[in-house]
Amino acid sequence: MIMIKPYFFALLSLIVLLPFVSAQYFGSGFWYGTEQAIDSIVMNLEPFFRALLGGNDWTGYLLFEKVLLFILISIIVGIILEKLPVFSSFKGKKIIRIIAVIIGLLGVRNLNYIWVSTILVQYQVLFIAIAGVLPFMIYWYFLESIDKGLVRKVAWVFYAAIYFGLWATTTLETYSEVYLWSAIAALIYAFVFDTMVIQWLKTQEMKKQFSRHSWNQIADINERISKINKQIAEGHMPVAQGNLQINELIEHRKLLAQGKNLI
């Protein structure tokens, strides 16, 4: 983005601090000063953003959301432009930032409230999906460290029982469906997928450990080959015997690289 000059911060600070000074002078208290500061910022910045992003109607409806979309789009466009070969020859990034801001303005300025609402619905769905699955993930990571499968199943049953209780006591139909399906999903995972998932995770961990062990063995083999070559070069080992050992080590190294552990 375009660099903001220091005097802009000074002006903004003056706008923010002025209500506090007034509140202190009139003795209205801290909270009154805070409220006045927020109102002052909104009243001073809203006309600017309404003119900049309001479009044809210049309304302030969903103005804050449009400002956030403008910032988001401008940042993403700026990142993309920096990766394009056409702009890679530019020494400075000011031109790229200006172009990104212009594209953001052109895109957001003429968005009516229907399009903005449509975009916001997608972010609401994203938030609900993340916030909805987050408790399940936290609970899953908590139970994943428990080795005993019976304990995990009892914990998942308790988790499902809570949702069944919420489902039985709620009066809202939408919440009722969410609670019911959450309880059913917890039970299905506990009795169908829990054992398979834990076994798969343990298998992956064993593969990682095996891979580290194999690469350590390969490093040892390379070191042994280097020592044998040095002994051959110094005349401390017959060439035929040294080459035979080197060939055996090379074959062993190939098998290790292919994932076959031969000790």
DSSP state letter for 87: G
Report the predicted TM-score, pTM, of the whole model to 2 decimal places. 0.53
Residue 161: the pLDDT is 92
Each residue's pLDDT tens digit, 198-243: 888 878 777 777 777 777 788 888 888 888 888 888 877 888 888 8
- Determine the 3-state secondary structure of 120 from DSSP: helix
Q: Which of 102, 110, 107 has the alpha carbon at shortest distance from 59?
A: 110
Contact present, 54 and 109 (Cβ < 8 Å)? yes
**One-letter identity of residue 44:** N
Residues of the chain with pLDDT under 50: 1-4, 22-27, 262-263
Each residue's pLDDT tens digit, 20-42: 554 444 445 556 667 777 777 76
* CB count in 10 Å sphere of residue 54: 19
Residue 24: the pLDDT is 47
Residue 263: the pLDDT is 43
Cβ neighbours for 16, distance < 8 A, ≥ 6 positions apart: 37, 40, 41
Separation CA 112–CA 182 (nearest Å): 37
